[in-house]
Structure 1
Amino acid sequence: MSAPSSVPLVVHVIDQLGIGGLEVVLVNLINNTPTDRYRHAIICLRGATDFKNRITVPGVSIHTLGRRPGKDFSVFRRMWSVLRKLRPAIVHSHNLPTIDMCVPAKLAGVRRLVHSEHGWDISEERGSSRKYNMMRKVLSPLVDRYVPVSKDIETWLRTGVGLPASKVLHIYNGVDTDFFHPAEGNLIPLPAPGFDLANRVVFGTVGRMQTVKDQVNLAKAFVELSRLRPDLMERARLAMIGDGDLKAECESVIAAAGLTDKTWLPGARNDVAELLRGLNVYVLPSISEGISISILEAMSCGLPVAATRVGGNPELVLEGETGLLMPSRDPVALAEALATYMDQPELMQKHGAAGRQRIEQSFSVTSMVNGYLGQYDQLLGRQHP
């Protein structure tokens, strides 16, 4: 094994190290990189939460810059200072809030810059912001490689932003199929009253409760299910796992319909894999997505998926084969999909098994890591057997 000082350092720049799909991708990349091939460090523009404890590789330094809301130009100086001390071979920034950090990176003498686009937040739905796209285009000469996580984002970078095709290389997110595996035998009931019925069907979602994820749409769909198919409600249950601004609104929608006893909203949890194995159907009601880590994890656990037809979701969920797709912001259409699964339990089993097979074939964490490390090697002119 090479001495640590001879192993190239990749510094990842993110907005904040907390619970989220982008952060899961980053942690999986770091934890699965051979330590004699690349070292990693993380710079957080704002801060880091206990999520950092999921990093299992020793020696990964985490630096927080305390970026203030609004235009905090002092963060550029702090970024330059940290990079001068770390002297990385590559700076790898992630998503819009970090794209302008390529300027202090170049001034600090960093050789190669990589930027990943994982998806859009509600401020630039579908990447339609002319201001942000112009900023991406202006800064593009400083960036050596753009990595979109979906074909949908790849097309947008090339045609919407106008980046040269030679700089854009798509790499799918991957999932740890050993950790996220199907339930063995009968499902283990979720730790909530009324979720232990032998014939119940548990719909569930996992993620930050924020506008772009639109969990309120799922809450409304569950209410619509009770209106359209009251005969199903003795068995129907809903788990909404995660925390954020929309949690209170979801609880209010459910309570107003008198369905609180059929739902479970426990907030953020650290036992997601176990909880997924207590679901029958995974639901993702987002307004916008890149390549959803939560869908990958759910499919890896053998769950059928009901998801909105946005972003990279159709690249993961093959309609009629591994799940069902519907328009975003349409609770009636989503309720009808939930009813379809309740009426056809054999369809749940068929879609879930096909989804697990699809993950094993196309979305392993090994493939994802090899994709990123291969790009690092190419940019640095390194040979790897």
Structure 2
Amino acid sequence: MADVAVLDDPTVPLVVHLIYKLDFGGLENMLVQRINRMPATAYRHAVVALTDITDFANKISKPGVGLYALHKQPGSSPGTHLALWQLLRQLRPAVLHTYNLSAIEYAPAALLAGVPVRINGAHGRELSDPDGLNPRHKLLRRLMLPFYDCCYGNSADLVAWNRSVIGVPEHKSCLLGNGIDTDRFQPGPRAALLAASGFASDSMVIGTVGRVQAVKDHAGLVDAFIALRASMPAQAARLRLAVIGDGPHLAQLRAKVSAAGLDGQVWLPGARSDVAALLGGVDVFAMSSLAEGTPGSALEAMACSLPVVGTRVGGLPEVIDDGVSGLLVPPADPAAMAAALAHYVASAELARQHGAAGRQRVMRLYNLNAMVAAYQGLYDKLCERKTAFRKQEKSCVES
């Protein structure tokens, strides 16, 4: 277990964020944004990774944020529950905030450690269970419900699923959407992407950003790119694909690209810290996901005035106004993805119109400050409720 000392001010309540791994990804990026933006006088923060912490932690700019890795082994790993209980006893947080299914089972340890407020966030579903119907997973979620004060979703789709499938009562359920820094993510020059990728200045670049894992179906996006080139021979020579992000399937994806003879046409740089600048060189953004929450990468692309072609899964239909700011296609359908992308390749004016509409949509509905305020408001409400309950309980005992 490695740590950086938490800012030592016991008058400011501490929030412990429990995630599977602190690494490049949309959930992790939004978590870091909230930590960096939330007023230091409101809450202190610590991040506990069940497995490991990577260099992605360097994106946390707020001083005094504690970082802890429990190095959980595959399987049930009961020792991890004990290690977390010991750590929580040491840190004495006001809130344990767990993320997704991988961390949901640790609420009992927090209760035993005396953590007053416990929250779980649904930020997406697993590739093995895109509809959230796995009986064992549903049972685990239901068994954990009594240990949580709130189980929110970051899309309306996830909130509805939490209530109807898992049985989360309405008073424990709410929507906390993602938010984007529209000052950082805005239309920009193409130079950064062209210089990094080596693409020619007249290239038509289809881009995507995200962790390269099975649920994102980047292999399907490569198939769509191949189909697009075949369907538009006059444009094929200038078509390019940029897949920005690291992950367990990156080597496999690179092998697929090489086998298709596309090494010069597809750029796979791995994780990058300059995503906002690179998006300036993208013409159309694509999301081929098989399951999603509210995808921050799509919102970032829209903030940069890019039209988005996305699959009709999870929160993507909430984010993309079909036919206005982008186009929606069925998941796992490279031909449909290619056909949608072709609309923007054929019409730069359509791409411009949809991109402009997307930026306006993000500025209106997905504001970063509003997101931070919503999370802080939830912490405030639950902490105040628990404090009032304890005062009432103490008064009853004394009387």
The TM tier, using the shorter chain, reads over 0.9
Cα offset, 1:124, TM superposition: 2.1
Q: Take 2:185 and 2:197, find their aligned partners in 1: how far apart are those partners?
A: 25
* Structure 1 residue 101 corresponds to structure 2 residue 106: yes
CA contact (8 A) 1:289 1:313 kept: yes
Q: Which residue of 1 aligns with 2:391?
A: none
Give the drift of 1:192. 5.2
- Give the distance between the partners of 1:107 and 1:129, measured in 2 at CA: 28
Which one-letter code corresponds to 2:322 in the other structure?
A: E
Amino acid at match of 1:83: L
Match of 2:48 among 43, 50, 55: 43
Structure 1 counterpart of 2:360: 357
In structure 2, which of residues 176, 197, 200 is the aligned counterpart of residue 196 of structure 1?
200
Residue 148 of structure 1 pairs with residue 156 of structure 2: no
Residue aligning to 1:183? 188
Matches within 5 A, 1:268-283: 268-283=271-286
Counterpart Cα distance in 2 of 1:35 and 1:259: 48
Q: Residues 17-55 of structure 1: CA distance to partner in whole angstroms, max 9, x if unpaired?
A: 110111111101100111111111111111100111111
Aligned: 1:82 with 2:80 = no
Shift of 1:261: 1.9
Q: CA-to-partner distance for each residue in 1:307-341, whole Å, 9 max, x for gaps?
A: 11111001001001100110111111111111110
Kindly state the Cα deviation for residue 77 of structure 1 after the two structures are TM-superposed.
0.7
TM-score, normalising length from structure 2?
A: 0.92
Q: Say whether the 8 Å CA contact 2:191–2:281 is kept in structure 1.
A: yes
Question: How many Å separate the matches in 1 of 2:331 and 2:291?
Answer: 9
Q: Pick one of 57, 71, 79 that aligns with 2:76.
A: 71
| Aligned partner letter, 1:53 | N
Aligned positions, number: 378
Q: Identity, % of aligned pairs? A: 44
1:189, 1:163 → 2: CA distance?
Answer: 44
Please name the residue that 2:396 is paired with.
Answer: none
Counterpart of 1:301?
Answer: 304
- Which of 295, 298, 313 aligns to 1:310? It is 313
Is the contact between residue 230 and residue 236 of structure 2 (CA under 8 Å) also seen in structure 1? no
Whether contact under 8 Å (2:24, 2:246) holds in the other structure is no
Scaled by the length of structure 1, what TM-score is found? Answer: 0.95
Measure, in 1, the Cα distance between the counterparts of 2:158 and 2:176.
11
The one of 38, 41, 44 equivalent to 1:33 is 38
1:286 aligns with 2:299: no
- Which letter maps to 1:381? E
The secondary structure found in structure 1 opposite 2:21 is strand
The C-alpha deviation readout for 1:184-225, integer Å capped at 9, x for no partner, is 5x6655235662233x21001111111100000110011111
Give the match's secondary structure for 1:218: helix
Offset at residue 232 of structure 1 (A): 1.4
CA distance in 2, matches of 1:81, 1:356: 46
Query: Residues 1-385 of structure 1: matches in 2 within 5 Å?
Result: 4-183=9-188, 189-191=193-195, 195-198=199-202, 200-381=203-384
1:143 alignment partner AA: Y
**Conserved? CA contact 1:41–1:61, under 8 Å:** yes
SS at structure 1 position matched to 2:131: helix
C-alpha contact 2:193 2:277 (8 A) present in aligned 1: no
Q: Give the whole-Å Cα distance in 1 for the aligned partners of 2:251 and 2:161.
A: 34
Instruction: Give the secondary structure class of the aligned counterpart of 2:118.
Output: strand
Q: CA RMSD in A?
A: 1.5
Partner AA of 1:295 in structure 2: A
- Larger CA deviation: 187-196 vs 7-16: 187-196
**One-letter identity of the residue aligned with 1:346:** E
Alpha-carbon separation, structure 2, partners of 1:193 and 1:65:
37
Secondary structure at the aligned position of 1:17 is classed as: coil
**CA shift in 2, pair 1:237/1:60, >3 Å:** same
Q: Unmatched 5+ residue regions in structure 2?
A: 1-7, 386-399
- The alpha carbon displacement at 1:181 in A equals 1.3
The superposition leaves residues 279-320 of structure 1 with CA deviations (integer Å, 9 ceiling, x where unpaired) of: 011111010000101101111111110111111001001001
Is 1:121–1:288's contact at 8 Å kept on the other side of the alignment? yes
